[in-house]
Structure 1
Amino acid sequence: METWRQDTMSPTSILYNTTSNAESVRDLQFNPHHSIHFCAVSESGNVQLWDMRRPDRVEKQFTAHGGPIFALDWHPEVKTWIATAGRDKTIKVGMRKSLTESCCLESYTLRFTFLFLI
């Protein structure tokens, strides 16, 4: 992952990635309450929490899903909560400060029983 200057469209720093360089980032969201923090999720089910003041290292990393994570988002009111959705048909919700694989607050399995045709 790299950060870029918007005015010159030139890279400013390369963020260190503790996983394989070939691994795809599926989603990235900045914390709406603290713009220096962001979260990235990957094809392998990993979640990475970053602090832009320390671009040389990931703040926290853990595996949240048994396969690709397709989406992530921050809670609009609770500053430290994030939710992830993966190919394993689960949505996981946890807190940023202490989020680890074992502290997931809730996990939901999605079941689709209907199809919309347009």
Structure 2
Amino acid sequence: MVAEVAISADPDERDDAALDVEQQILAPWQQARQDVVDKLYALLREFDPTVPGLLDGAGDDIARQGPGAVDKAASCIVEALDRTLRKAAPNDALKAWFPTSGLDRKLWPDPETGWASASALA
């Protein structure tokens, strides 16, 4: 029905159809999306209260489309991920986990650098 009205020649019917789509489809979808974002931000704040701001900053850079926006947004996202993972899996917890993980010892991080050796990743 809405599709038929949307192609109608009557501007009032088209306006009504657009309003119906906005109220019945778009508004609930946008609210559900915002609810998910709010829950995610609340969870991320538990790890580090600065993380949601970094993600908002990434979105802002993309929306403004300024010079280097993609690079700045990527930097914010990497920083948000890094901060979250460091709080979720602190180094001491990881060091204790590796011996129980079942991973081949050559895949464990080097104690000095914290990185797996290049030969193990090859």
TM-score between both structures, scaled by the size of structure 1: 0.21
The structure in which a higher percent of residues are strand is 1
The structure in which a higher percent of residues are helix is 2
**Greater relative CO, 1 or 2 (CA 8 Å, sep 6+):** 1
- Larger Rg over CA atoms: 2
